[in-house]
Amino acid sequence: MKFGHFDDRNREYVITRPDTPLPWINYLGCQSYFGIISNTAGGYSFYRDARLRRLTRYRYNGVPLDRGGRYVYLRDDESKEFWSPSWQPTQHALTDYSCRHGMGYTVIGSSYKGIEAHTRYFVPLDENLEIWQLTVTNRRNTPATLSTFASIEFCLWDAQDDATNFQRNLSIGEVEIEDGVIYHKTEYRERRDHFAYFACSRPGAGFDTQREAFLGPNRGWDKPATVEAGQLTNSIAHGWSPIGAHQVKLELAPGETQQIVFVLGYQENPRDKKFDPPGSQTINKSLVKPVIAKYLHSKAADVAFERLRHHWDSVLNIFQVDTPDIHTNRMVNIWNAYQCMATFNLSRSASSFESGIGRGLGFRDSNQDLLGVVHVEPARARTRILELAATQFASGGAYHQYQPLTKRGNNDIGGGFNDDPLWLILGVSAYLKETGDWSILDEPVPYDNEPGSEEPLYDHLRRSICYTLERLGPHHLPLIGRADWNDCLNLNCFSSEPGQSFQTSTSKDGKVAESVFIAGLFVHAGRELAAISCHRGLHAEGSRWRSEVAKMEQTVLEHGWDGEWFLRAYDDFGNKIGSSECEEGKIFIESNGFCVLAGIGLEDGKAASALAATREHLATPHGLVLLQPAYSKYYLQLGEISSYPPGYKENAGIFCHVNPWVMIAETRLGNGNEAHDYYTRINPSAREEISDVHRCEPYVYAQMIAGKDAPTFGEAKNSWLTGTAAWNYFAITQAILGVRTTYDGLQVAPVIPASWPGFTGRRTFRGVVYEISIKRDGPGNDIALSVDGEPIEGNIVPPPIDGRKQVSVRGVLG
């Protein structure tokens, strides 16, 4: 069952009924000002940091779901009937409801009794504000007299404090009204130099800034007393809950259309110019007034919207493909690329499932997110890499997370996740392959943000690899520390009391528990570092990494092999995890996917055996589950992984982040059919038809789909912000379609399904547009390439030496 359809030409998903199984959201903003918005206008906005600079309130875990939003109400002043054109919050029945989620914008609208209304929400590029363009048309053959209300509820900035510290917060709310603009200035009197505002393009028929005055006692957003009565009360908030509400009266002749523009924004003032007049407590509005005035004009808003569309067109046009599979095309060309930007921008901070008050930016997460965006945002990728490296410790380890606003490592969680530093090597190598900008390696970067501790970025990579080498266990496999990629495999924690953190409740420096996954990651990252070192002319060092890699490979084959597949780990007692000897959790996806991806066991058949076992034990119609058999009870020595009921999350859920490792692994064995089959099983577009089962948005990946042990097998959760985005993008573009960046040029080495006659693509790479056309002439993966009509040796297209900006690459596959 579907709840809408794709409009690929406009790069939109069109939702045609408001009662989607869950709120289906989109993101507004891509630089500093962000918002999430659901298909019924729920959501919130923030500046840079979803915890520390929250503009508007949203109630996670409230009922009904998805309350707090950018709510518009219409009232027929003759019949006194009122409704929300976005369905929520009134849930009044509507005709022709639709929500178009597009690239950085959302349009929600409907008709009711001949009144058509839709609102276009977006954040203009380079501004810290959002625009709501409400267009109302009277389709009746009589004049319509309407009142329009637009409302938001302000958050008192720190979203965590706002939701908990009522003894203070119910007394500090403050607003100002000037020229009909509502300014929210809680705490501006003291240490804040920022405020929010909510403005309206039409002279208002009234406003409200106190929530209780607007809603009326004992009422919710579904039935505000003022909207019902048809008149706002001009209330001024003193404490309690400041809101912004505007009322505009509309007289519409038959067939007439009018537009109202609302602007919600964030502004910072220089500390010494906070007040006007100086010495007063009144906000200095001189900087913000011209911005507000500009965007309240429909024309300026339209221009900003067109600019935003152009921006996204140029972002997405960097890589476009045309394959025989519509789901591949749609995800590569539009939605997966778009989701990669969202994860890069926001890491795991703000979505329907991430409350914005949690973890900030993750070290391993952000490094992996780079894989999906480095071709689009090389400059921002560079900055991010340097930021990440600055949260590394001198030991080579790293803070597991840091706050985007302060850029400081998060002390609550600390470090000791032993895979973390290796991801930095992969982030940097992806950047180098894309850009060829080797100068990044010379950038001085501090450790733990400590001034004076700077070393070139290259030395950070060296410390990353040494961090693993200095932490090997009894089998010479890497020690796992608090966890490896799987945050829930906590082999050194032994958490026994409710509420304890599974990762940090003990600070045991375990010297026994080892991770075969980290070994695979080490082999992969070590090869990259060796190539980087040699490129720097450090050949001896390069050889050293190569021999360490070879040693680790050997160790994995000896101590990380279970007979048919790769083991997952050894626990603190030296017992195997992910072995046929285990009662539960006999086989895991991560070590099998990553070891083969890293090239371990390709020669001696172990890789093929591991993938066959993966297929046999882990593959389901909804994707590959993380392990089998699921843990049926809590194991103290394994930690959080066994805390989840069977089939959910890391306990045998279909963890979509790791599925692509198996896809890539399959391509290493030349299995294009299998790789693309796995790709399709979790491709959200391919799952659109079962939206009632899948339940999350059909246009973006979710972190998890419930596994076969779960009562809700096939049901997705945690959509949007997940490493799934970057890895699936990487798997389909670089491994399956095989349009792959290398240090020396663009490689074209597809491993596609045997049934595909070929595909075409266009990829901008280091300033050159490569028009690629692949034709199949046999079932295999051997490729013969010609560049601008001339056959070339091998499969790496050399960069044009004569300054050409357009290159045609033809490949015959067979």
Q: How far is the CB of 640 from ligand GLC (least distance, A)?
A: 9
Q: How far is the CB of 359 from ligand GLC (least distance, A)?
A: 8
Closest distance of CB 187 from ligand GLC, Å: 17
Residue among 148 and 351 whose Cβ is closer to ligand GLC: 351
- Contacts of residue 792, defined as CB under 8 A and 6 or more positions apart, other chains included, come to 785, 786, 798
Tokens standing for 350?
Answer: 């703000």
Residue whose token pair is 């943000």: 449
Half-sphere exposure at residue 386, Cβ-oriented, CA atoms within 13 angstroms: 15
Q: Which stretch binds ligand GLC (CB under 6 A): 144-152, 486-494, 528-536, 595-603?
A: 486-494
Which stretch in 60-68, 479-487, 490-498, 557-565 sits in contact with ligand GLC by CB under 6 A?
479-487
Q: Please select the residue that binds ligand GLC; options are 548, 562, 650, 697, rule is CB under 6 A.
A: 650
Q: Which of 49, 66, 419, 487 is catalytic?
A: 487
| Encoded amino acid at 357, one letter | I
The CA-to-CA distance between both ends of the chain, in Å, stands at 39
Q: What share of the chain is helix, strand, coil (3-state, %, to 5)?
A: 30, 30, 45
Q: Are 419 and 426 in contact (CB under 8 A)?
A: no
Task: Kindly state whether residue 486 participates in binding ligand GLC, applying the rule CB under 6 A.
Answer: yes
In whole angstroms, the minimum distance from the beta carbon of 483 to ligand GLC comes to 7
Q: What are phi and psi of 617, to 5 degrees?
A: -100, -25
Work out how close the CB of 761 gets to ligand GLC at its nearest, in angstroms, rounded to a whole number.
29
Taking CB under 6 A as the criterion, the residue among 83, 344, 485, 770 binding ligand GLC is 485
User: Site map for ligand GLC, 186-215, x if CB under 6 A?
Assistant: ------------------------------
- Shortest distance, CB of residue 34 to ligand GLC, whole angstroms? 19
Alpha helix segments (H runs only) across 685-796: 691-694, 724-730
498 cis-preceded (ω within 30 degrees of 0): no
Q: How far is the CB of 351 from ligand GLC (least distance, A)?
A: 12
Q: Is 153 in the site for ligand GLC (CB under 6 A)?
A: no
Place of tokens 């001189």: 286
Which residues, in sequence order, are bridge partners of residue 624?
A: 619
Give the span between the Cα atoms of 568 and 298, in whole angstroms: 58
Spatial distance between the Cα atoms of 415 and 649, rounded to a whole number of angstroms: 23
Under a CB-based contact definition with an 8 Å cutoff, are residues 757 and 774 in contact? no
Smallest gap from residue 348 Cβ to ligand GLC (A): 5
Q: Does the protein bind ligand GLC through residue 6 (CB under 6 A)?
A: no
Tell me: does residue 640 bind ligand GLC (CB under 6 A).
no
From 198-206, 480-488, 570-578, 795-803, span contacting ligand GLC (CB under 6 A): 480-488
Report which DSSP code applies to 799: P
Report how many residues bind ligand GLC under the rule CB under 6 A.
Answer: 13
Nearer to ligand GLC, 413 or 739 (CB): 413
Rule CB under 6 A: is residue 568 a binding residue for ligand GLC? no
Which region holds residue 639: left if phi is over 0, alpha if psi is between -120 and 50, else beta? Answer: left
Interacting span for ligand GLC (CB under 6 A) from 150-158, 359-367, 463-471, 630-638:
359-367
The answer to the question of residue 703 lying near ligand GLC (CB under 6 A) is yes
3-state secondary structure of 590: helix
Whichever of 369 and 562 has its CB closer to ligand GLC, that residue is 369
Q: Containing H/E element for 215?
A: helix 211-215
420 binds ligand GLC (CB under 6 A): no
Q: Give the nearest distance from C-beta 275 to ligand GLC in angstroms.
A: 27
Tell me whether residue 49 or residue 650 sits nearer to ligand GLC (CB atom).
650
Q: Which of 487, 562, 666, 688 binds ligand GLC (CB under 6 A)?
A: 487
The least CB distance from residue 415 to ligand GLC, in Å, is 14
Could you tell me which stretch among 129-137, 443-451, 468-476, 482-490 binds ligand GLC (CB under 6 A)? 482-490
- Rounded CA-CA distance 429/364 in Å is 14
Piece in contact with ligand GLC (CB under 6 A), picked from 336-344, 372-380, 481-489, 595-603: 481-489
Q: Report the distance separating Cα 50 and Cα 266, nearest Å.
A: 13
Q: Is there binding between residue 364 and ligand GLC (CB under 6 A)?
A: yes
Binding marks (x or -) toward ligand GLC, 337..356, rule CB under 6 A?
A: -----------x--------
Q: Which residue is closest to ligand GLC by CB?
A: 487
* 165/257 with CB nearer ligand GLC: 165
Report the residue number, 185 or 657, with the smaller CB distance to ligand GLC: 657
Token couple for 656: 């979509």
Q: CA dist 191 to 160, 269, 274, 438, 510, Å?
A: 18, 12, 11, 42, 44
Picking from 106, 182, 173, 115, the residue whose alpha carbon sits closest to that of residue 144 is 115
Task: Kindly tell me which of 491 and 783 has the beta carbon lying closer to ligand GLC.
Answer: 491
Nearer to ligand GLC, 11 or 657 (CB): 657
* H runs (alpha helix) in 638-697: 659-668, 672-682, 691-694
- Per the structure block, which two tokens stand in for 543? 């050889």
Q: Which DSSP helix (H) or strand (E) runs through 53? A: none
Q: Which of 326, 299, 526 is nearest to 426 (CA)?
A: 526
Q: Does 722 bind ligand GLC (CB under 6 A)?
A: yes
186 or 722, CB closer to ligand GLC?
722
Structure tokens at 742: 């290398």
Dihedral of the CA atoms 763, 768, 771, 772 (nearest 10)?
Answer: -60
Please identify, using beta-carbon distances, which residue of 404 and 446 lies nearer to ligand GLC: 404
Does position 682 interact with ligand GLC (CB under 6 A)? The reply is no
Cβ closest to ligand GLC, residue 410 vs residue 722: 722
Q: Which of 365, 420, 434, 688 binds ligand GLC (CB under 6 A)?
A: 365
State how far the Cα of 69 lies from the Cα of 89, in Å rounded to an integer: 9
Alpha-carbon distance of 703 to 803, in angstroms, equals: 43
Q: Binding of ligand GLC at residue 488 (CB under 6 A)? A: yes
- In the complex with ligand GLC, the residue whose CB is nearer, 362 or 372, is 362
- Residue 487 catalytic? yes
Q: Does 362 bind ligand GLC (CB under 6 A)?
A: yes
Q: Check if the beta carbon of residue 279 is closer than 8 Å to that of residue 273.
A: no
The H-assigned helical ranges of 347-488 are 363-369, 378-389, 420-435, 457-469
163 binds ligand GLC (CB under 6 A): no
Closer to ligand GLC by Cβ: residue 489 or 523: 489
Task: Please report, as residue ranges, which positions from 247 to 306 form the binding site for ligand GLC (by CB under 6 A).
Answer: none
Binding mask 656-675 toward ligand GLC (x if CB under 6 A, else -) reads -x------------------
Among 71-79, 145-153, 357-365, 792-800, the segment contacting ligand GLC (CB under 6 A)? 357-365
Distance CA(781)–CA(800), nearest Å, equals 25
Residue 558 beta carbon to ligand GLC: minimum distance, rounded to whole angstroms: 27
As a whole number of angstroms, the distance between CA 513 and CA 212 comes to 57
Q: How many CA atoms lie within 13 A of 167 on its CB side?
A: 0
Extended beta strands in 454-585, E state: 455-456, 514-515, 569-570, 576-577
CB of 249 to ligand GLC, least distance (A): 45
Q: Which of 420, 425, 370 is nearest to 391 (CA)?
A: 420
Residue 322 CB, nearest distance to ligand GLC (Å)? 32
Asked whether the beta carbons of 409 and 449 are under 8 A apart, the reply is yes
Q: Give me the residues that bind ligand GLC (CB under 6 A), please.
A: 348, 362, 364-365, 485-488, 650, 657, 703, 722-723
Which residues carry out catalysis? Answer: 487
